[in-house]
Chain A
């Protein structure tokens, strides 16, 4: 804990009486529904849609509660609440997801209302984390901090959060609906593989519609450029209305908006949206400037400290190679020269990606208070971010994280994998994801090799629903079930950034045992072929083509 000073107040949105009332009403309603279920007044079938609206899933072994972390932004106080919930109601850990949310996998139904009550105390809830509604809007984990940021997406994510909460027209969409926003040059929010991707620029929003993964992956086309931000909500309302009316409902696998946009063509879909938009009473839908300004006022810069003792920093880097490596891999350039954004890796060797123990959550909350202005983020890569850290504090921060098993220096590297929960938890999965991720991370445990390989994203899904984003991994891994045996198909060449592309399947599936060695062959080939250390895996792959890599992948050992 910070020894002397009071915990800092993070610069993030704070509930007012309206927001508190909304969550309170919703929790009261759900507590009643749980009581009716426990008393046997309603059946599991009747209860299912009600619990799903409140983020409660029934998985293979237990109930899972998915808590919304709005656009991935957390206060230290909220993180401590997660630790408390993990300790009190779960098995002492939680799982951070690719949707910037948190899941507890071992929840008792009778505890759910009490947990939601505890969450409401820290302005959180589990609403709209499942069901065919507008889900949590996601954004750049370095928003408000990154040096390459052009405009801050967080206020707009909050504007969308409120507009999409309990939306009367869009709660029974053909399928779930996910919106992502970025305001930076580099797209760290993967906007083009979302139902709607918003790119905020000085001239307004570029709107991409109809991206997605799953069975039929699509990179979203742009349907509108330079949308006036003041008209964002009415434009979104028009996009959603066209989808709600004309999206397919006869086949769950063809119900996402990507199928509609692809069937109509981007131009025709865009035309229908314009037509609908022109008929909307925009003044009724668009939040007025006073409200947008009110929301923006919650996101000022923190009271940044001045100064940087570069001599001391260099001494620490020279003395401690582990620290030097962590600084190189796990910090991102900040808009202030004497600050950085820090990635706390939740991908240590051999442990499930995205998991954190309650003790680790407490440590992260404490270091956020002591060195991070009280604020944390969840990244869609399933890591935790301290968006603002003064460089003078980096070494102390590193030592504290490392002591808690949180000092893994692999952000963006081959062992920083995304993996879905897979067959260990999920009732949809065909194959295990987490054990495979663990095997791969053991294969590349050697720090020198990891650093030599540089930036390389592996993404693993345990089934075709693609929760592990395998379509956009530089190397994607898809678990399939062939007559009761788990196999893994390997994809090459996907990326989720501003040059978004889908990976292509290469050859036959491999057994779980064969995958780590096959990936190592691909990586060794890359190291042989690259023109310099600055040519990343994805660059080499795009330069020389997939064939050589596919051959290495399927070569018999």
Chain B
């Protein structure tokens, strides 16, 4: 029997929460690269904090697990895309980052999970408010659509529209 190919060895493709594979027009800028006035570029976190104040237009930012997302609060209206990096399957800091952005800071534009994004994490990412995924899978679109309907019961309020079991139980009350 041939050894199966690990999902993590497939090239990452960008998929929306609706399961559409879309082109990725955004590029992560190296810290020494210059940017234009309104480019579809993603800035590193520290650079974004330093420069966004003086920039007009719409940019992206990359948040790594150790970065404190709340520092971005003053600049959120200048951001079109926020990429949250998941360097490894086991590092769950990005889930908190996403919920803080959506539920505490009120960020409403694109929130994208990048890095080691596998199908088994997508359910949790959807619930935490991500709406785009740079996912490695044989069938990335199916991975997202099946994750979305994996559980009919959820027990907590989170960043998505799913209502917790307690809300549904007492809906008529």
> Using a CB–CB distance below 8 Å, which chain A residues touch chain B?
16, 18-19, 21-22, 25-26, 29, 40-43, 46, 49-50, 132, 162-173, 241, 244-245, 249, 279-281, 284-285, 287-288, 290-291, 294
Contacts and interface: CB of A to CB of B under 8 A. Distances in A.
Contacts of A279: 104
23 contacts: A21-B153, A22-B152, A22-B155, A25-B152, A40-B1, A46-B6, A49-B120, A132-B90, A162-B165, A166-B154, A167-B156, A168-B123, A168-B125, A169-B96, A169-B128, A171-B92, A172-B90, A172-B121, A249-B90, A249-B91, A288-B170, A290-B170, A290-B173
A172 B157 CA distance: 18
Contacts of A49: 89, 120
Given A168-B124, A169-B99, A291-B169, 18 more contacts: A16-B169, A18-B168, A21-B153, A43-B3, A49-B120, A132-B92, A163-B156, A167-B156, A168-B123, A168-B158, A169-B128, A169-B158, A170-B95, A245-B97, A249-B90, A249-B91, A287-B164, A294-B170
A95 B137 CA distance: 39
A421 B127 CA distance: 38
Given A25-B152, A166-B151, A285-B157, A172 B165 contact: no
Contacts of A249: 65, 90-91, 93
Contacts of A22: 151-153, 155, 165
B75 interface: no
B14 to A, nearest CB: 21
- Please list the 6 inter-chain residue pairs (A to B) with the smallest Cβ-Cβ separation, ordered nearest first: A172-B92, A168-B127, A284-B157, A291-B166, A22-B153, A18-B165
B114 to A, nearest CB: 16
Interface in B139-165: 150-158, 164-165
A291 B157 CA distance: 14
Contacts of B124: 168-169, 171-172
Contacts of B157: 281, 284-285
A30 to B, nearest CB: 11
Contacts of A170: 92, 95
A25 B151 contact: yes
Contacts of A284: 103, 157
A288 B166 CA distance: 8
A291 B168 CA distance: 10
A293 B80 CA distance: 44
B23 interface: no
A18 B153 contact: yes
A288 B104 CA distance: 21
B98 to A, nearest CB: 8
Given A168-B123, A281-B103, A162 B155 contact: yes
A56 to B, nearest CB: 15
A21 B155 CA distance: 12
Contacts of A163: 155-156
Contacts of A173: 92
Contacts of A42: 4
Interface string B83-108: 00000011111011101000110000
Contacts of A281: 103, 157
B105 to A, nearest CB: 9
A291 B96 contact: no
A290 B103 CA distance: 24
Contact of A291 (B125, B153, B154, B170): B170
A8 B168 CA distance: 30
Contacts of A171: 92, 95, 124
Q: Is the interface of B mostly helix, strand, loop or mixed?
A: loop
A290 B153 CA distance: 19
Contact of B156 (A41, A168, A288): A168
B72 to A, nearest CB: 15
Contacts of A162: 155, 165-166
Interface in B114-131: 120-121, 123-125, 127-128
B128 A168 contact: yes
A166 B147 CA distance: 13
A311 to B, nearest CB: 50
B150 A172 contact: no
A19 B104 contact: no
A53 to B, nearest CB: 9
Contact of B96 (A40, A166, A241): A241
B8 to A, nearest CB: 9
Nearest to A28: B150
Most buried by A among B1, B89, B93: B93
Nearest to B69: A245
Contacts of B156: 163, 167-168, 285
Nearest to B94: A172
Nearest to A37: B4
Contacts of A291: 166, 169-170
B149 to A, nearest CB: 9
A165 B170 contact: no
A285 B163 CA distance: 11
Contacts of B121: 172
Interface in B65-81: 65
A29 B7 CA distance: 17
A288 B151 CA distance: 22
Nearest to B99: A169
Contact of B155 (A40, A41, A166, A244): A166
Interface string B45-69: 0000000000000000000010000
Nearest to B154: A166
Contacts of A19: 153, 165
B85 to A, nearest CB: 14
B128 A43 contact: no
Contacts of A280: 103-104
A292 to B, nearest CB: 9
A244 B169 CA distance: 30
Nearest to A22: B153
Nearest to B173: A290
Most buried by A among B65, B103, B151, B165: B165
Nearest to A284: B157
Contacts of B127: 168
A108 to B, nearest CB: 20
A26 B155 CA distance: 14
Contacts of B6: 43, 46
Nearest to A234: B157
Contacts of B170: 288, 290-291, 294
Contact of B152 (A21, A165, A285): A21
